[in-house]
Each structure stands twice: as C-alpha cells, then as structure tokens.
Structure 1
Amino acid sequence: MTFENTSSFAQSLDDQDILRNFRNEFYFPDNNSRPINYLCGNSLGLQPRSLKNAIENQLQNWEKLGVEGWFDGENPWMYYHKEVKRLLAPLVGASELEVCPMNTLTVNLHLLLISFYKPTKTRFKILMEANAFPSDQYAIESQIRHHGLDPKEAIVEVKPKDGNFTISQEDILEAIQENKDSLSLILFGGVNYFTGQLFDMAAITKAGHEVGAFVGFDLAHAAGNVKLELHNWQVDFACWCSYKYQNSGPGGISAIFVHENHFNNPNLNRLAGWWGYNESNRFKMESGFIPELGADGWQISCTQVIPLTMYHASLKLFEKAGYMDTLREKSVKLTSYLYFLIQEVNNALGIEQYKIITPEDENQRGAQLSIIAQSKGKEIFDELVENNVLGDWRSPNVIRLSPVPLYNSFADVHLAAQVLFNVSKKLL
C-alpha cells in the first residue's frame, strides 16, 4: 500500500476498518477533559466498558450467595476458569486442556521452570535473549542457583551483533548448535519488550528440540499482540501476563500453556497445591497428589475470581473480533503507517532525529515501534505527554509507541506523528 501523510488518508483507512467500532468498547483516559491519544497498550491495555458490570455481577454473587457462589449462580466460581480457558485457547493456538489462567507471570514462570529446567552434569545451560525483561533474568538466575549452579556458567545469552539492536535468527540457531551438548532449556520472549522484535518461535522450538532441549516462551508482549500457534509449533511451555495487549487490568491474572505431550510425563517435577489436584476427587481431601489432567494440574491456589472476571471481559472482545487473524492484519497496517509517518517526520526535519530499532519486516515485529531519539529524547517524550500523546519511555533514549488494533485508529497514528513533528520543531 502507498501511504499518504494526510488526515484525510488516515480517515479513509479508518472508514474501511472492520474493527473500527471496537474503539467504543473501551474507556480512553483524558487530560484536562481532552481524550488522550493512547499508544501504550504494550505496557497497560485500556479498560473494557463491560468490565464494571462484570465485576458488579460477581460482587452480587458474593453478596447473595456467600460461599455457595463456588457452586451456585450463573457461573459458579468452581468452574469459572473453564469458560476463560475456552476463550483463551484460540488466542494462543492451543487446546483448552493446554491452557490455564492463574497467578501472575513470574510466579508461573518459576512453577514452569521447576518442571522443565532439569539440569544434569552435562546438560545444564539455559539459552535466552540478551537484555530480556528483568523478571526473566532474575527468575532464571535464581532457578540456576537453586540447583547449586553458577549463572555465569549456565546462562547463554544471544546478543545483537555489529551494532544492531535486534538479534538475527541465524545467531539464535547458531548459538543452539554451539551449545547442543550442554543445553537443557531455551527460554525466549516471544516479542522483546525493548525493541519490539518478534522472534520466530516455531524455528527456535524446532532447533531446540533437535538438540534435546526443552523450549519455552515468555509471551508477555506477544499474547494478544501476534498470532500464536503454540500447539502446532510443539512449544513445551509458555506463560504470559494479560494486562498489556489483553486488557485485564493492572497486575491482572496470568496464564500458562503446557503442551499435551507432557500431560502424562511422571518425570516432570512440580510444586503441587490443592487446586491442581484431580478435580473429581478434590474434596475428598486425601493425601498423595494426583494432578488434574492438563495445564490445570499446575494450579496451586484456588481461582482468583475478580481478576478472572476482568480477564474474561476482555477475552470476550477478542472472540467477538475474530481473534488474531483479523487483529493482526490491522496491526501490521497500523505499524506500517506509523513507520512511514516517522520517516516523514525525519524528512521534514531534515535529519534522522528518530531511528526506528524495531524491524521493518512486518513478520519480525508486533504492534510496537521502538524509536531512538537522537537528541533531547526525554524532553520530547514529556512534551508529547503534555500534548496528550501517551507512549512510554525507556532510558536512555527510547520512546515506545504501540497502536493496538482493538482500540487504536489510523487517525490516532497520524495525529501522534503530527504532534511529534511539532514538538520536535519546537525543541530541536
């Protein structure tokens, strides 16, 4: 498509957008009674308008039913997570048995690492992306120390080369081969939080399995953002938070994926809890842990009903929108338009003030563009916020802008670029 840097062209794209009415399903924050141009869904998604009523219904269940709410009412709490599993499975390309909403992201990562990081004297290394989100780094370091190993020896980081900001697929595959005899586990982010690079998860999984390693992914920046086929890709495990692209609210509930290949593997250790016990016999209160079939067997504590309700409200919108095939098509177009407009800003300024470090190839990026401001980056970011354009800032000089296809428009993207140009002319 040939883009144009005009508001009328942006409006024409919005007029053709079959998802345009989903914008009305969300609350947009405002600043001094002016709606904010919200491009920060990579950090925290917007609140669905249906959420207040959904929570109120659960509060009424608690009010009227008390403890009987676990078994009575329209959606008894005992089985409520199964409705969420139904909605969640298509979002990540899994069966309902393979997914389970529970806990928070890093808690789930630890639970899964206990099962899938099984170091031996010869196979003890974990391969990961350099500059992964700190939670992943800290979790992996602590798991390695838990086994009495040294993170400096056990962690293999794949880094960008030759002054690049992103990691080439060839370097990832090469690192897997170089460590093929000592590799126990591969853990990558599906999308790197800083650069927005989308990794080829299918190829990484295949290469990892060929050398005998388990392969898992932190999908915090990928779930609800890009199309996932976790089951078909044969990914061993994954986990994600739901408050970014999936709009489940600050600190919202997390979820896990465990491939069905591992459901009956007695050699996988796990931390057990009552809610992961076989459901049909759970209330017999017997000793000797017998896990529920599937990902539910990794549960520890009982269902978090209100956080689950918040997740459910958003997942209903994904179902209504047709899940990721439809959303991804719009997302690619939004980021492509933003990519074009930032280049237009540079051209108008006569300098490359803004360097996009997210891959230009649409198959290597999600909804986020990460932009290096060559000078006065923080001042420019603060001025954008003052002018009601809200992305987010990463030191020392990166602005992240994330147009989300469920609620952002092409007009949002065009207006953001206009403001960026005006702010730049003022400050540079």
Structure 2
Amino acid sequence: MSSASIVADVKQRARELDRDDPLAFTRNEFYIPTRSQIASTRLADSDSIAAESEDTSARKCVYLCGNSLGLQPKRTSTRLNQYLATWATQGVQGHFKPVEESPLPTWLDADARAAQLIAPIVGAFESEVAVMQTLTANLHLLMSAFYHPDINGRHKIILESKAFPSDHFAVETQLRHHGLDPATSMVTIESQTSKDNVFTTEEILSVIAAHADTTALLLLPGIQYYTGQLLDVARITSFARERGIFVVWDLAHAVGNVPLALHDWDVDAAAWCSYKYLNGGPGCIGGMFVHDRNSAVTRLISDEKPEEGYTNRLAGWWGNDKGSRFVMANRFHPVQGAAGFQLSNPSILDITSLCASLEVFELAGGMARLRDKSVRLTGFLEELLVKDYGDGGIIGEEERRLFRVITPSDPDQRGAQLSLLLDEGLLETVMRELERRAVIVDERKPNVIRVAPAPLYNTFEECVEFVEAFKEALATAWKMKCRTAD
C-alpha cells in the first residue's frame, strides 16, 4: 500500500470516528481559532470572531495545546457580559441581590456555585473544595496549615526530582521559612529504571518507605507535566498515609483531564489551576481540596478558646463563617470545610469565566464520558505516530528515528498528552514549521514537544492533520541540521 493510500485510509477512519463520537457536539461550544486568526498579529473584534467561528469554509487551526491553555468556551463571553451588566446596573448590590433572568449567583455565593460545579470533577464533597487563589499560592496555604516539622523527628518533604519548578520553589521556601535546609529536609524521587524519569509506583513507594520515619509531607503531581505520566494517586496516598505522612497532590495537569476521586482515595489535600483542561482562561483562579477530616470546625465562636476547634491556617475574612463574616468583628472563626481556608473575596470575573467552562463539563455528562473519549483519542494519536501499517506509516521510517514517545503507552498511566522527545537540535525548527502550518502544540526545552488532544474540542481527524504536519516539520528540521553540520 502506498503512503498516499495509507493516509487516505486513516483519514477516512478518523472521519468515521468523529461521525460516531457521542461528544462531538461539545466542540461547537468552543471558539476554535482559524488558520488566518492564528497567523494574524492584529486584535480581532468580537463580531469578526463570531462570524469567522460560524464560517464553515474557514479552515481551523489544529490546536493540541489544552495542557497549557485551554480554548475559550463560547459561553464565556456571554457569562462575563452578564456579570458586567450586573455590576453596571447594580453596583455593590450585586453582592447580595439576585437579578431576575440572570443565571449567575450573587457575588456572595459565586464561590459556592463554583465549588458545586468542580466537586464532581475532582471526586469530592462540595464542602471539601474551594475555588480560590492560584495553584502555588494554594500549595503554600496548605503547607502553612499542615506542614509542622519537628527537627528531631518528622521534618522532610518528599517530591519528585523534575517537578514543575514552582513546586520546587514552594517546598524550598517553606523549608527555609521553618529554618530548615533543603539539602537535608527535601527528598527528591528520581527513577532508577527510566532515562526519561518515568516512575514505577514501586520506585515511589520505596523512597517513601526509606524516609517514612522522618517525613512530614509528600507532594506529588497527579500527572507529571513533562512526561505526561499519570501516577497511581490512590495507592501512593494510602501507602504514605499509613506511615503517618500528610499527602498533598498538585493536580494542575490532572484536573479536568482524568477522573479523580479525592475523597474516596483519602487524599489529605490537593491544589490545581484552571486554565489548562478546565478552560478558565489565562492565569484564572485556582482551586483547593481539603479532606473533611482535616477541615472540621468543632467549636462555636461563643465557646471558650474557639480557635482550638479547627486547624490553624493563614486566614482571611472570606474564610470566616458567613454568619459572622459581615459582623466585622476581629475574631476569626472559619466556615466548615475547604472554604474556611479562603483569604480575600475571590475575583468574580475569574469565577464567572471558570464556571462558564464548568457548565460545558456538566453538559458533556461528566469526567467518565470525557475520559472514555480521551483514551480513544490519545490512543489513536499514538497509533498514527508509531504504527507500521505493513508497507509503512504516515510517519516514515526515516522520520520515526528522529523522535520517540516518552509518555507511558499504557492508557491507565497517562492522560490526554503525549510527550515527544526529539533528536538534539530539531526542536526550534520543528516548532517553527508546525506553527507555519497552523498547528499549535507546546515545547519544553531542550527537546520535547507536548501534544494534547482534549476530548471537549479536539477531533480524530485533527490527530491525522497533526501527524502529517509533524512528518513534514521533522523532515525540514533534519535537512537543516544536516546542512548546518556540513
């Protein structure tokens, strides 16, 4: 079979998969940039964006970068305009006054509505989640409440050696804040079996076991940002907690990507951002999970020493019980649950934007349905990249030698991302050539591109289009490298 025939057959198969996709309708909930929009350097107005979005003749870009920044839901602008209209016409009354025909909650209850929508996505009770702050700020808030080092006993924090830099920064500065030296109080996990630092669960458990008596806190990613590996959250959590270690998960790349069951897995606490798979918008508000056993408030504010009835934390007035929040007394008494860890009143602009996207998750029927499509979509992409179809593949043998997939091939050990490790010296040209073809992925220097087909808006046919463009980009990059070497 010729290469052209292989491509034609694969494209036909992709179209059939898209035709039979029960979640195909959610793609129309998003603005998919066109090729001309991606190439443009001019600010577009809302009318032209809407018109081009509805123009079926306009060629769309191939956007496989939801692991870095999700696309904009169409309803986001609608909800934000409703928020702006409330502010414009009601002023401060928007905090308390319901507005007829508005789907938005009062600003006083906006965080509660967001918690209601995010709870099923992370597998938690509403009372166990709070939409607040940003990812790293939330990690600091959690550690300030639950990391209590004893220099002669438990003082170590365990994390993985190639965690996202902000996680390293948070851990190192928390240690120094307590007068500890990261050289002796920070333990990093590094794979002894994988050159790409893809862990086995046993490797992680062995490090935990080796330091269990001196470790106070474990911080790991649900999905490792660089390799795309999905860790066994339930097993690792259970193992660490049995040894008296407080367990925190960074779910930046896991939330909205894979099903989570934080309450049932007995996770102590977790934090996440909302601008990747949750499509909240750049730098949008983050979230926090605190298991209900760690957020109980057992005394009334009228009791003697009511501050002994809850875990101490860095507090702010929005974490105060709603019944006493506006009394303006200088006596902190937190609301029960994760909401009691809030500081200032949250950005209603941010929460409105996030909730617009969470409505689409609700419309899709939840994470189980999205995960089913995601497994098929990512598996299809992997097949196109590595499979030999007898007489060859879309990616030829020459190009296939120029990269390899470092994300685990087991669907249970990955989310909606494949990380492709390129031969040295190819990254810059490959990225430039993909951009020229209106294909958007992201890079992690020195030589990895991350490709993330998001089930809410990506298609099987887009996977084929990416692989075709990637093949051409690789060939161009290899020629340029050889020419430079000569």
TM-score, normalized by the shorter chain, greater than 0.5: yes
Match of 2:249 in 1: 217
Q: Quote the offset at 1:350 in angstroms.
A: 6.3
Equivalent-residue separation in structure 1 for 2:403 and 2:377 (angstroms): 18
In structure 1, the partner of 2:375 is: 332
2:10 matched to which residue of 1? 6
Does the CA contact (< 8 Å) of 1:346 and 1:354 recur in 2? no
Stretch of structure 1 that moved more, 314-323 or 258-267: 258-267
The verdict on how the C-alpha distance between 1:181 and 1:267 changes in structure 2, with shifts beyond 3 A counting, is: farther
Checking the alignment, whether the CA contact within 8 Å between 2:219 and 2:248 is kept in structure 1 is yes
Residues 304-342 of structure 1 show CA distances to partners (whole Å, capped at 9, x for unaligned) of 101000000000000111111000011111111111111
**Contact persistence 2:161–2:189 (CA under 8 A):** yes
Question: Contact between 1:61 and 1:73, CA under 8 Å: does it hold in 2?
Answer: no
Residues 429 and 473 in structure 2, CA contact (< 8 A), matched pair in contact too: no
Q: Distance in 1 between matches of 2:126 and 2:239?
A: 26
Preserved contact between residue 399 and residue 475 of structure 2 (Cα < 8 Å): no
Listed one character per residue, the Cα deviations across residues 65-89 of structure 1 (whole Å, up to 9, x for unaligned) are: 1001000133210012111111110
Q: Deviations over 1:235-272 (max 9, x none)?
A: 00001000000000000010100000112274633001
Amino acid at match of 1:248: G
For residues 29 and 177 of structure 2, the distance between their equivalents in structure 1, rounded to whole angstroms, comes to: 45
Question: In the aligned structure 1, how far is the partner of 2:13 from the partner of 2:24?
Answer: 15
Letter in 2 for 1:273: G
For structure 2, the residue ranges without an aligned partner over 5 or more in a row are 1-5, 38-58, 100-104, 298-308, 387-392, 479-486
What residue is the counterpart of 1:134 in the other structure? 165
**Counterparts of 1:425 and 1:379 in 2: how far apart (Å)?**
10
Tell me how far 1:345 sits from its aligned partner.
4.7
TM-score when normalising by structure 1: 0.97
Q: Alignment partner for residue 21 of structure 1, among 16, 25, 31?
A: 25
Structure 1's unaligned 5+ residue stretches are none
Work out which of the residue numbers 158, 162, 174 in structure 2 matches 1:143.
174
* Distance in 2 between residues matched to 1:140 and 1:314, nearest whole Å: 31
Q: Which runs of 4+ in 1 moved over 6 A?
A: none
CA distance in 1, matches of 2:223, 2:211: 23
Aligned to 1:370: 419
Q: Which amino acid aligns with 1:139?
A: A
Alpha-carbon distance in 2 for matches of 1:357, 1:170: 19
How far off is 1:186 after superposition? 0.4
Note the 1:166-205 alignment, pairs <5 A: 166-205=198-237
Q: Do 1:346 and 1:353's aligned partners in 2 also have CA atoms closer than 8 Å? A: no
Of 46, 66, 69 in structure 2, the residue corresponding to residue 41 of structure 1 is 66
Equivalent residue pairs, number: 426
Q: Which residue of 2 aligns with 1:322?
A: 365
Give the corresponding residue for 1:379. 429
**Matches of 2:368 and 2:35 in 1, distance apart?**
34
Deviation of 1:422 after TM superposition, in Å, equals 2.3
Aligned counterpart in structure 2 of residue 152 of structure 1, from 170, 183, 197? 183
The Cα RMSD (Å) is 1.5
1:312 aligned onto 2:316 = no
Report whether the alignment pairs 1:98 with 2:134: no
Partners of 1:88 and 1:277 in 2: CA distance: 21
Q: CA deviation at 1:284?
A: 1.2
- SS of the residue aligned with 1:123? coil
Q: Which residue of 1 aligns with 2:92?
A: 67
TM-score of the pair, normalised by structure 2: 0.85
How far did residue 423 of structure 1 move?
2.5
Are the counterparts in 1 of residues 295 and 311 from structure 2 also a CA contact under 8 Å? Answer: no
The percentage of counterpart residues that share the same residue type is 43
2:339 to 277, 296, 303: 296
Say which of 266, 282, 292 aligns to 2:325: 282
Instruction: Provide the secondary structure at the position in 1 that maps to 2:212.
Output: coil
